[in-house]
Amino acid sequence: MVRGNQSQRKGSGGMKSRSQVATLDDLDWQILRLLQENAKQTYSEIGSKLGVAHSTVYDRIQKMEEHGFIKKYEAVVDAEKIGIGHITAHITITTDPKETENIAKKLTRFSQALEVSTSFSELIVVIAKVIAKDQGELHTFIAKSVAPLPGVLRIRTAIVTKNYKEERLSLPFGENASRKKE
């Protein structure tokens, strides 16, 4: 990891270390934003857009991968366009507080579960986005795989009838919103 101050010339620094915690500088954020727009871009294409050498982009991406800032690269497939009929549902599972984490971990093992989260509001719940071929398969999955899990108290299911927006986290977000592409 390269150490230095924020005033280093563009492309020469990289991630900064604050008490052994890696942080990103402006160039790192710009590279991440471009990768999110199109992860198939070459290092040269990204470097050209940012005014830095392709080797700088390569080094920065390698460091961000090593430190876990970039978890993976993936292709997002449109299931309808490739002919896979399916339904999507959001299930909310009210749990025994002692079993919430175990239930969430067990749900992550099912291929039908696309996302699994926990929420601690009035009730302790596990929220899962699941996919199935049809309503029958969804019912079977809930009845045979989810309901029997120890600590499940109640299950509520909402079948998605129309998606208006479905995306991954897009940079900038939150405190880095000021870095937004102009």
* pLDDT tens for each residue of 27-78: 999 999 999 888 999 999 999 999 999 999 999 999 999 999 998 888 877 7
Residues of the chain with CATH 1.10.10.10: 1-75
- For domain 1-75, the question of CATH label 3.30.450.90 is answered with no
φ/ψ of residue 131, rounded to 5: -130, 145
**Burial of 56 per CB tally in 10 Å (0-12, 13-18, 19+):** buried
Q: Report pTM.
A: 0.64
What is 87-159's CATH number?
3.30.70.920
- Give the residue-averaged pLDDT of 135-151: 96
Residues of the chain with CATH 3.30.70.920: 87-159
Q: Look over the chain and give the mean of its residue pLDDT values, rounded to a whole number.
A: 83
